[in-house]
Structure 1
Amino acid sequence: MRIPALATLAIAMISASAPARAQTYSPDYPVCLHVYGPVTYYECRYTSIPQCNQSASGRAAQCVVNPYAAYQDRAVRKRGVY
């Protein structure tokens, strides 16, 4: 009697837990590709708008500035890396 009760409890706990949300924007890259379609998602792995536009060409996608990389970009410029 214990095994079915424990199995039922384990299944209920696994079913009730919510999946963790992934970070949408990567702060390492200043430009993101917003892809539209049945599944809408962001790819934040571009260093410039022209580079992103090359990937967006022919797709239902748009290049956008990464809002989380904006502050990081200013901080890097202050250190004289550019």
Structure 2
Amino acid sequence: MHRPRLALVVIGLLLAGGSARAQTYDPSYPVCMQIYGPVGYFDCRYGSLEQCRYLAVGRSASCVVNPYFSQRKPPPSRRSRRGAADTE
């Protein structure tokens, strides 16, 4: 009699738990704050290590460079051959 109850409790706990998402870095910002604790996570919304460190004071956290930061470079400028010929 105890095993069916235990099985129902276990099944209920498994169904009650939400789906877990994998932790990802936000590629929009170059620096992330890693917060430690029972539920550790990365908060990636800092423009510099100094900014992150300033906001991490007094917390159980550290600042790390975001390995997935996508640096947006300006497109290469197009030089016309006609403009270069005019200067000679």
TM-score normalised according to structure 2 size: 0.58
Percent of aligned pairs with the same amino acid? 54
How many pairs were matched up? 63
Residue 40 of structure 2 is matched in structure 1 by 40
After superposition, residues 1-20 of structure 1 pair within 5 angstroms as: 15=15, 19=19
Shift of 1:19: 1.9
The 3-state SS of whatever aligns with 1:51 is helix
Q: Any idea what the Cα deviations from partners look like across 1:38-63, whole Å, max 9, x if unmatched?
A: 22111000010000001111111000
After superposition, residues 1-82 of structure 1 pair within 5 angstroms as: 15=15, 19=19, 21=21, 23-69=23-69, 72-73=70-71, 76-77=72-73, 79=74
The 3-state SS of whatever aligns with 1:32 is strand
Residue 5 of structure 1 is matched in structure 2 by none
Q: How large is the RMSD of aligned CA atoms in angstroms?
A: 2.5
Runs of 4+ in 1 over 6 A off after TM superposition: none
Shift of 1:33: 0.1
Pair member with larger Rg: 2
Shift of 1:67: 0.8
TM-score normalised according to structure 1 size: 0.62
Shift of 1:20: 5.4
- Whose helix proportion is higher, 1 or 2? 1
Shift of 1:28: 0.5
Q: Which runs of 5+ in 1 are unaligned?
A: 1-14
Distance in structure 2 (CA, Å) of the matches to 1:32 and 1:23: 12
